Amino acid sequence: MRKRLTWLLVTLGIAALVRRLKRRGGHAEPAPVAAPTDDPADELRRRLAESRSTDEGESAPTPPETTVEERRAKVHDHGRAALDDMRSSDEEP
């Protein structure tokens, strides 16, 4: 008797679920159709053309006055100085 009651309740539950899903699907409004818009690629091409036209009037960037070796030596010196500061602060307590 319990098995039959369980099967009956499960069947009724499934039927109710199917009816609800059908109602929800039948009364749903169709998605609005988006108005045709311009191609995003055209917009990007236009912006690129504008930026190129403004860049032509500017002068070329100047090369750095220091060489790579000079900048590298400066960075290493700065690092060594920081390391010396850390070592000296460890010895002072």
Alpha-carbon distance of 91 to 36, in angstroms, equals: 72
Q: What residue ranges do the domains of the chain occupy? A: 1-25
Alpha-carbon distance of 15 to 3, in angstroms, equals: 18
Q: What pLDDT does residue 70 have?
A: 93
Query: pLDDT band for position 93 (50/70/90)?
Result: low
Alpha-carbon distance of 43 to 38, in angstroms, equals: 8
18-55 pLDDT, tens digit each: 999 888 876 556 566 665 667 888 889 999 998 888 76
